[in-house]
Structure formats: structure tokens, C-alpha cells
Amino acid sequence: MRAILVLLGLALALVGCATARASIHSRDVIVVGVKADQPGLGLRKNGVFQGFEVDVGGYIARSLGASRVTFREVRSDDRELLLNRHAVDLVLASYSITPDRAGLVGFGGPYYVAHQDVMVRRGETRVQSVRDLAGRKMCQASGSVSTERVVVGLSIPARLVPASSYSDCVAKLRSGAVDAISTGDLVLAGFAAPDLRIVNTPFTDERYGVGMRRDDADACEAVNRAITTMYQDGTAGRLLDKWFGKSGLTLVREVPEFEGCS
């Protein structure tokens, strides 16, 4: 009897491991995590998610075989948590691929290479490049690594003012609580308005990746194939024009160089 129970326990453990490691590739329902407060990329309006990353996430999920795609809000500070808790299957949320993040989650893509830039109020003439942020108040969105690239990567002594999100940063910029916001140009373009100005002096590459759980090489490879097809069939170009065509940014329409799947 003991031997039977041991064998049964081993079998259940193996089933549990197989289930935990099962690929999301060909799953009927895929949950995509997107932002809810970033116009152009991911915005929830009247209960419906819309934006470039929402459209790209839907395209990728359907390419993986999903018959139904649902969207869930993620923030910059909870993307890894929601992925690893299986609350979402994929994340497209201006999620720059970095070595630290790649130690926590897996990445497909990137699906777009943006460039970090600076946004100020329209009447601000003293900030003409990232170097001009020295001594000025720069917004620091929770969970974002963009400010680190300025104050650590470039050693520019900006004065950081914390905010819950980039929409909060924009509100602080308008109120005068901060002097500037610095992050990927697609994020900034989504908030573009007559009273705000993008400095248009990019200084980094922001490789926006598709976040997923680690060790799902099948899904990663399928995501990369979907992104390649998305650019080759013209979908990527149409979506970039749809969401950012009026921004004045120079939009990249070639397939990005992928990070590779392990």
C-alpha cells in the first residue's frame, strides 16, 4: 500500500510540474496585461482597452492560437508579480527589456524599439536636451527604470519627484510640481498636447518586449514569429500610423532584432 501511495504521489507531482510548465502556445484563452492610463499605448476608455500595445497584444495572442483574448490592467510596479502569479499570460506595457527584469520574467521580441526623450511644458525654453535636467525636478513613475538611465546612466543630478504612473507625471508637469518627464518617446507621444512639448533629442534605445513567464521557449519563439509576420504583412505599420502617425515622431517600420529565446 505504501508503495502505491508513493507512486501516486510521484505521478501527481509530475502532473503538477507539467501543468506549471505548460506553454501558453495554443491555449484557447490568453490574458494580456496592458496599461490603462497611457494614451496611444494602453488606455481604458468606457471600460474598453485601446491603444497600440492592446492591438499588438491581441494580434500576438491570436497568432499563438487563442480563440479569445482578454485584457487586464498592469502597472509598471506589478508586471512581474502578475505574470508569475499567472494572473496574466503576456504583458505589453512599455516593458523595456533589461538584464534585471530578464532575471525575473521571460521576454519575446522586442516588438518595437522606442527612444527615451524628454517632455516639458510648451513655454519651457531652458530644457533643450537631457543634460539640461541637471538640478531640475524630474518625475519618477513608480516601477519605471527611465529616471535611472538619466541620474545613474548619464550621471545627471536631476531632482526626482515620485509619482504613481506616467499619467500622474503628466498631471504634475502641468501643475508645475515637476519640470520634466523622461521616458520612451511612444509613451510621451501618447500624452502629446498643445500645452506640452517633446524636446526631440533621443538618447537611448527602449526595447519594448513581450513579458511572459520564464522557461516557456515555445511561446517565446511563437511570439517572435508573430511579430515578424506582423511587420511583414503591414499590420505593424498600419498600427503605428493609427496611434502615432500625427505625433511627428519618426516611426520605425522594420522588424526589430530579437533578444533570442532560451
Tens digit of pLDDT for each residue in 163-174? 999 999 999 999
Looking at the fold, whether 235 and 184 belong to one and the same domain comes out as no
Instruction: Name the domain boundary from 198, 233, 257.
Output: 198
The mean pLDDT value of the chain amounts to 90
Instruction: Determine the pLDDT at residue 23.
Output: 81
145 phi and psi angles, rounded to 5 deg? -105, 5
Instruction: Give the containing element (helix H, strand E) for 72.
Output: strand 68-73
The model's pLDDT over 233-259, given as tens digits with 9 standing for 90+, comes to 999 999 999 999 888 788 889 999 998
Q: How many CB atoms lie within 10 A of CB 225?
A: 14
Residues 109 and 120 in one domain: no
Domain range spanning residue 100? 23-113+206-244
Burial of 184 (0-12, 13-18, 19+ CB in 10 A): buried
Residue type, 180: A
Under the banding of pLDDT at 50, 70 and 90, the label for residue 260 is confident
CA angle, 175 as apex, 181 and 117 as ends, to 5°? 15
Residue 234 is assigned to a structural domain of this protein: yes
Question: How many domains in the chain?
Answer: 2
Q: Report which of 171, 169, 163 is spatially closest to residue 181, judged by C-alpha positions.
A: 169
Give helix 52-63 / helix 235-244 axis angle, nearest 10°: 160
Mean pLDDT of 119-144: 95
